[in-house]
Amino acid sequence: MEREQSRQWAERHQVAICLLAIGAGAALGALLPGAAPTLEVAVEPSIAALLLVTFLGVPLRGIGAALGDRRFLLALLAVNFLVVPMIAWALTRPLTGSPELLIGALLVLLAPCIDYVLVFTALAGGAHERLLAATPLLMLAQMLALPVLVPLLSGGAAGLIDPLPFLRAFVLLIVLPLLAAALLQRFAPRLDLAPAMIPLMVLVLITVVASQTPRVLGAGTALLAVVPVYLAFLLLATGAGILVSRLARLRTAAARALTFSGATRNSLVVLPLALAMPSALVPAAVVTQTLVELLGMAVLVRVLPRLIRDGSRPPARS
């Protein structure tokens, strides 16, 4: 009983907990910049653990049925590879005078998230099992799209993008946790790791923010130019997700999942690509999007269920 009460308390206060974790990570990164390389090593394992818990809460036998929802899949692809590129292109026009910031912004904004979007979607009551089923498709699509879209929308400022970091992230963050979850569901069906989701989310937020804060601070005021772009993207992509979900007549849970997919970007997976580029501003621009997005997601998990309701009417007031 006490364990369940603690879990319910954490779920009710998840937004505040996430914001505190982000603040703690920023303070740690600023005060102990020398610890950033060590913390960066822990980023992928912590995300993999978080996704394992998320996958474990999804009946994996139902993934085939979820993948068969063609209406949801078409809406998902339309948002991420038709609507979002148009939004990203329009918002990044003010960055054309700084090719490094432009490339960094496009690199991250054009890549739909395939990891912690599942967690945020689950926390908001969205159909995270449908996003899970669509993860391989989203990953493959962005691997094919980024080498074309980034040079095209940046005016040819970016060279060819190596797909190997994508493959590595796909194996470490998706395939291995998914296989582990399937084995646990098969051989330990009564295992319940759901109470670990919010603590793991806190660990991920602190690790990611603390490990990347020194890089952001080292870039100075140059990064201020991308902050309005990322904020505007979050608002416009959220609105686009809601609009497309209505046009596609998706149910509440699927509409929330679609909206989160459009608004959440793949910053942690594209970061190795940015780090491979010669300018330090490119990865700094990607990391800045991570910080803006994590703050935005902490708010969106509370706001989106109010924007996309279950269709039931509230009781009339007397």
Residue 169, pLDDT score:
76
Residue 114, pLDDT score:
81
Q: pLDDT (tens digit, 9 = 90+) per residue, 278-308?
A: 777 888 899 899 889 988 988 899 899 999 9
Residue 1, pLDDT score:
58
Q: Which residues of 252-276 are buried (b: 16+ CB within 10 A; e: fewer)?
A: bbbbbbbbbbbbbbbbbbbbbbbee
Least confident of 27-31, 80-84, 107-111, 130-134: 130-134
Where do we find the tokens 């989701």? 197
pLDDT-based confidence at residue 316 (cuts at 50, 70, 90)? very low
pLDDT-based confidence at residue 254 (cuts at 50, 70, 90)? very high
Q: How far are the Cα atoms of 22, 63, 89 from residue 83, in angstroms, in the given order?
A: 29, 26, 10
What average pLDDT does the segment 192-209 reach?
86
103 pLDDT above the threshold of 80: yes
Q: pLDDT (tens digit, 9 = 90+) per residue, 39-63?
A: 888 888 888 888 888 778 766 666 6
Q: pLDDT (tens digit, 9 = 90+) per residue, 24-41?
A: 999 999 999 999 889 888
Residue 84, pLDDT score:
97
Q: pLDDT (tens digit, 9 = 90+) per residue, 211-232?
A: 888 888 887 788 999 999 999 9
Distance CA 70, CA 281 (A): 40
More confident residue, 261 or 212: 261
Specify which of 92-96, 179-183, 310-314 reaches the highest per-range mean pLDDT.
92-96
Distance CA 33, CA 18 (A): 22
pLDDT-based confidence at residue 4 (cuts at 50, 70, 90)? low
CATH architecture observed for domain 17-305: Up-down Bundle (1.20)
Tokens coding 79: 């948002």
Cβ–Cβ < 8 Å for 250, 239: no
Residue 5, pLDDT score:
65
Q: pLDDT (tens digit, 9 = 90+) per residue, 266-285?
A: 887 788 778 777 777 888 89
What average pLDDT does the segment 6-32 reach?
81
Residue 60, pLDDT score:
67
Residue 155, pLDDT score:
82
Model confidence, pTM: 0.81
Give me the residues paired with residue 215 across strands.
none
Percent of the chain with pLDDT over 70: 87
